[in-house]
A = this chain, B = another copy of it.
Amino acid sequence: MQSILQNIAKHISLTPEEETLFLSKTETKQFKAKTILLSAGEVATCTYFVNSGILRSFNINDNIIEHVLHFACEGWWIGDMYSYISEKPGNLFIEVLEDAEVVIITKENQQQLFQEIPKLERFFRILAENSLVAHQERLMDNLSLTAEERFEKFCSKYPTLIQKVPQKHIASYIGVTPEFFSKMKARLLKK
């Protein structure tokens, strides 16, 4: 398992005391599949780091159609960044897809950690920058690639997810309907 301290150590180095302090400001919890950690309309007060299991974030359009923004499995962070930083009600849901162990950091604790360990500003800057780059790439992919190409990219980028999450969620992430996804998959298998 990739621990949160290892995740941090990829970009900055903490002393053992700092590591202990950091962990003291977090809480680790287990959640069953289908648990909703955050609902649209709520203010996101925490960010989540996934120790094990799978989560997803999504919004719901016109009370009908879901759109998956993000999947997170072992070693990934997930949250509603908009709501978290603006402290306004967000429009994302965060749901557990596969039984998970999650490290929770409240915004309050994160702010305290920034005071006590300023190096963490750097860590979260790098985290945000990397996430930004990934989102920019996905945006450009949505503008310039076909559904088939986006699916192939998804497969090579997240090979483990394909087996594990319901394909309707992958369809949603790619940006197509489940029906079209199914048709596309059948077409690809013939090749």
By a beta-carbon cutoff of 8 Å, the part of chain A in contact with chain B is 59, 61, 65, 67, 69, 81-82, 85-86, 114, 118, 121-122, 124-126, 128-133, 135-140, 142-144, 172, 175
Which among A118, A135, A137, A143 has the highest number of chain B CB atoms within 10 Å? A143
Decide: A129 and B59 in contact? CB cutoff 8 A: no
Q: Roughly how many angstroms separate A122 CA and B124 CA in the complex, as a whole number? A: 9
Pick from B125, B136, B142: contact of A82, CB under 8 Å: B136
Chain copies in complex? 2
What does DSSP make chain A's interface, helix, strand, loop or mixed? helix
Q: List 7 A-B contacts (CB under 8 A).
A: A59-B140, A67-B143, A69-B136, A81-B129, A82-B136, A125-B128, A139-B142
Contacting pair A133 B67 (CB below 8 A): no
Closest chain-B Cβ to A34's Cβ sits at a distance in Å of 23
Smallest CB separation, A112 vs chain B (Å): 14
User: CB distance A139 to B139 under 8 Å?
Assistant: yes
15 additional contacts (CB under 8 A) given A59-B144, A67-B144, A142-B142: A69-B140, A81-B129, A81-B133, A85-B133, A118-B121, A121-B122, A122-B125, A124-B125, A125-B125, A125-B128, A128-B129, A128-B132, A132-B132, A139-B139, A139-B142
